[in-house]
Structure 1
Amino acid sequence: MFKKIVKIVSIIILVLIVSLYIVFTVFTSPKSDEQVLEAYENSYVKPILTKEKFKEFTYRKIEIKKDTSLSTLVFVHGTIGSLNDFSKYLSDSLLQHKFNMIAYDRIGYNYKDENPVQESIAFEREMLLDIIKDLNKDKVVLVGYSYGGPIALSVKEKVKKIILLAPAVHSKVEPMPWMLNFYKWKLTRWLVPKVWKQASKEKLSHREDLKKFEKEWSNTPNKVVSIHGTSDWIVPYENSKLLQEQFDSNQFQLVDLEKGNHGLVWSNFDFIKEQLLKHAD
């Protein structure tokens, strides 16, 4: 009887693990165009979803374009991430009234993307500059989340404002989660979902890549706002504190989110929205 119970329990646990793995894989994989647009079914202003070219790459961009006299929020996602991370912002009626908005998939994170992540802040900056090249820079607000933070901050062209959300900008406080070993170990790499393999590659190279930029963050001509959760362990709050030390107080503002974590883009939507609205025309 005991053996039968152990066998049944083992089967149940195995089924649960497999089920969780499938759910996790499906939930975190890039969404199809149709799935992306589902988030905007009740949106007052309908978004424009397009395929764009940068160098030899094709990527997706979604845009809320209402009035050229308005400022434009340009969202840059992190690792792992996609343009879908900002769907709640792009579909919000008040933000639509106050801003034009753009979000895009970075290379390696597009739906069914066969291209690898580029593992280069310099490349990502060049791509971002290409996206905003036809916009009035005086009305561009760059919003970089997590890994998207250093991409936005590396832009040296003058824009209206740079807003960082939990930015990963300093190598010495860049954590390397134990789970990365599943990607590093060849015996377990096959278990890692495709998009997480891309995210793992980018994460593993990020620390060294940051060293090329982190001593020169304050060289930007732009005013910078960094919003960071004090309980963030994925990208520690210390990132923004170290960033604050590099800037004069009239150029940099640190907004503390007490007990906030790294999911602030979703869990603290109302707070982030309020901060964004401060930079509308």
Structure 2
Amino acid sequence: MATMTESEKKAGGAWEVIRVVIHALIIAFVIRTFLFQPFNIPSGSMIPTLLVGDYLFVSKFSYGYSRYSFAFSMDLWGNRLFKIGPLPFNGRILASNPNRGDVAVFKLPTDNETDYIKRVIGLPGDRIQVQGGTLYINGEAVKREQVSDFDDTDSYGSERKVRRYRETLPNGVSYYTLDLYDNSPGDNTKEYVVPEGHYFMMGDNRDNSTDSRFLGQVGYVPFENFVGKAQVIFFSHEPDASLLAIWDWPWTIRWDRFFTLLN
């Protein structure tokens, strides 16, 4: 009976490790492409719903799949290691329309590459306007009730109180928004008419969000550009925290935000 040499055993063990790694990468690729993709929040445009330092899962299947569903890249220290997609086809497969109030990730229409996350406010054909900080949909003011102030920290590290409102859309979806300033550039707008096949997106931090109100920077978002729906926050840390400083975790990790479901 033939026996394996020591070198053959080592080669077999090495190949087994490689095979396991390849299988794990394939499984991760399938999950990321077709089911859930992780995103982190780098800016405050969706405060108080999403905070800088939140990590969340986005369901790729919620709206079906477009060419941007298969597009992603990996960067390291500012250098792009690789880029995949978008694939050369138009439209969506297994399409399901976004609902008003969804928190969704989409590709910025001005470059079709940068990931943005905002809330779906206007559906195709809607008339959207903001007057005095109040949102109007099809000529009707959206219900807006002031609640307790939000404790915030400005860019200089100073604590401040920010006006917080509970906004309720016509379909009953309710969430909190912030009002930092009176008469900011997005507080009084013209009336927008959302084109067919497009959506009007806004951040919950209304005075600190570049969104569909600014046509030259974001504008109306084509349905094709939607990547997925934000579902759950799975991890969160303070913006200035270092994840390598494990000894600081009890104070820098936001434990209470783990597994927070999003509307």
Q: TM-score, normalised by structure 2?
A: 0.30
* Greater RCO, 1 or 2 (C-alpha within 8 Å, sep 6+): 2
Q: TM-score, normalised by structure 1?
A: 0.28
Higher strand share: 2
Structure index of larger Rg: 2
Higher helix share: 1
